[in-house]
Amino acid sequence: MDVLILVYAFLILYPLFLLWWWADSKRDQECYLLDYECYKPTDDRKLDTEFCGELITRSGLLGLNEYKFLLKAIVSSGVGEETYAPRMVFARREENPAYEDGILEMEEFFKDSIGKVLARSGVSPQEIDVLVVNVSMLSVVPSLAARIMNHYKMREDIKVYNLTGMGCSASLISINIAQNIFKTRKNSYALVVTSECLSLNWYSGNDKSMILANCLFRSGGCAILLTNKRALKKRAMFKLKCLVRTHHGARDESYECCIQKEDDHGRLGFYLGKNLPKAATRALVDNLREISPRILPIRELLRFIVVSFIKKWKQGSSKVGGGTNTKAMINFKTGVDHFCIHTGGKAVIDGIGSNLDLSEYDLEPARMTLHRFGNTSASSLWYVLGYMEAKKRLKKGDRILMVSFGAGFKCNSCLWEVMRDLGDGNVWRDCVDKYPPKTLANPFMEKYGWINDEDPNTFVVPR
């Protein structure tokens, strides 16, 4: 009889134990963002109108057509006068940068942002279990990740990942790496370090498709502290709900639209092709198609399906009458409160706004970030997030959709849930009250507009 009781008890309790164990293990797989620190270089590295004009005229390779192109690009870029460039530009060495320039640019960022985020969170470098570093266009030996590990004297058993060539969408790839490691390691800290090195990649030639990168990309970076410790849930700023990565590298058109290469004279630069908007739109559509069912309520998905069917039916029946071919729009605001968009340029922000049917309020954080900090590559998302926080927009329970693009061509997106009311100024602390300004127009046209009236036969490079 006692044996039967034990058998019955085992048959009842063992499934309950397995269910508890499964639920408990899932809880330890959560990914929380404890803190982040965006990098603000010193004021002596700001690119104001006066210095930009001097920088452009230093090159002896540019003619009137290139000057007109640059003026048009800068005026329409959405970039303001307070963005930052690497030190070698101010030392007049952009045409012949040294290897050490790239190292210095990265080390200044590392020592500032990593130190601040660890000190503020109360986590020591020896407690970090995972280190993921992404800097696309600088590959050194020892790696940048190894340099950070050495500087902060991290543990020998730390898991280290050093990513290069991943482009502007690399920070979400780094987050995804940490998220996957959390599924197999309990009670862990992960430090994600995201930036870009401009010192060795400042283009000094006259190819228009490569000059454009100089108009958009600026110095910046961000250090992000993640954990899956459930005990720290109440201290966390955000909780990662889902992350989707889309890669179109198998398509030649997408692969070649955004690439680092040499021009016809052997000068290294970053090429931005005319088919980039098309590649970006295609990647965005495919990415949203996958993430939408994960983040939007069922009622919105059903509404979209029904409306799409009705529109197709009406268009099919009105072809003879010349009916308009309008597409049904899915309303992302039914599942998303804030939109954190990569500051790839004014056209990128406008394109995403059009595709997602967003208001100017939704696009404001991205536009202001582009104006104040420029395109800081993979770290730009975190400056946008910082703007939302500084403006006290982020309340407990809000959901934030991050969307980023990168060479490859890639589109990565993720959804965060705000864990508590937020309002720290972060990198925007000393200037957020000035934003949004009355106008985002920069003074380049006012100062250099006379170039458009110049005669190619008599034009002389200003000195």
Distance CA 24, CA 46 (A): 50
User: So what's the pLDDT on residue 324?
Assistant: 47
Q: How far apart are CA 52 and CA 58, in angstroms?
A: 10
Give the span between the Cα atoms of 17 and 24, in whole angstroms. 10
CA–CA distance, 108 with 221 (Å, rounded to integer): 10
Tokens of 144: 């940048």
Per-residue pLDDT tens digits for 345-356: 898 899 999 989
Residues 220, 112, 163, 129: is their CA dihedral positive or negative?
A: negative
- 197, 214, 342, 442: the catalytic one is 342
SS (H, E, C) the chain: CHHHHHHHHHHHHHHHHHHHHHHHHHHCCCCEEEEEEECCCCHHHECCHHHHHHHHHCCCCCCHHHHHHHHHHHHCCCCCCCCECCHHHHCCCCCCCCHHHHHHHHHHHHHHHHHHHHHHHCCCHHHCCEEEEEECCCCCCCCHHHHHHHHHCCCCCCEEEEECCCHHHHHHHHHHHHHHHHCCCCCCEEEEEEECCCCCCCCCCCCHHHHHHHHHECCCEEEEEEECCHHHHHHCCEEEEEEEEEECCCCHHHHCCEEEEECCCCCEEEEECCCHHHHHHHHHHHHHHHHHHHHCCHHHHHHHHHHHHHHHHHHHHCCCCCCCCCCCCCCHHHCCCEEEECCCCHHHHHHHHHHHCCCHHHHHHHHHHHHHHCECHHHHHHHHHHHHHHCCCCCCCCEEEEEEEECCCEEEEEEEEECCCCCCCHHHCCCHHHCCCCCCCCCHHHHHHHHHHCCCCCCCCCC
What local confidence, expressed as pLDDT, does residue 15 receive? 65
Q: Does the annotation count 342 as an active-site position?
A: yes
Q: What is the pLDDT of residue 56?
A: 83
What local confidence, expressed as pLDDT, does residue 312 receive?
77
Q: Is 257 one of the annotated active-site residues of the chain?
A: no
Cα distances (Å, whole numbers) of residue 168 to 104, 245, 324, 345, 370: 21, 13, 37, 12, 14
Q: Please, are residues 28 and 186 in contact by the beta-carbon 8 Å criterion?
A: yes
Handedness of CA 94, 257, 347, 243 (dihedral sign): negative
Determine which one of 197, 206, 248, 338 is catalytic: 338
Catalytic residue among 31, 38, 168, 414: 168
Q: Contact at 8 Å (CB) between 35 and 236?
A: no
CATH T-level fold of 28-303+331-453 = Peroxisomal Thiolase; Chain A, domain 1 (3.40.47)
- Cβ proximity of 289 and 265 under 8 Å: no
Distance from C-alpha of 320 to C-alpha of 331, rounded to nearest angstrom? 30
Tell me the torsion sign for CA atoms 87, 88, 94, 100: negative
Closest by CA to 76, choosing from 338, 427, 348, is 348
| Token pair listed for 317 | 């029946």
Q: Using CA atoms, how far apart are residues 347 and 313, in angstroms rounded to an integer?
A: 33
Q: Catalytic residue at 206?
A: no
Q: Active site residue: 247, 340, 412, 414, which one?
A: 247
Residue ranges in the chain whose pLDDT is less than 70:
1-11, 13-28, 316-328, 462-463
Distance CA 142, CA 158 (A): 16
Catalytic residue among 371, 411, 412, 414: 371
Catalytic annotation, pick one of 206, 375, 412, 442: 375
Domain coordinates of the chain in residue numbers?
Answer: 28-303+331-453
Our answer to whether residue 375 is catalytic in this structure is yes
Looking at residue 314, its pLDDT comes to 75
Is 176 assigned a catalytic role? no
Q: What is the pTM of this model?
A: 0.90
Assess whether 151 carries a catalytic annotation: no
Percent with pLDDT over 90 in the chain: 62
The burial of 434, by beta-carbon neighbours within 10 Å (0-12 exposed, 13-18 middle, 19 or more buried), is given as: exposed
Encoded tokens for 331: 């309303």
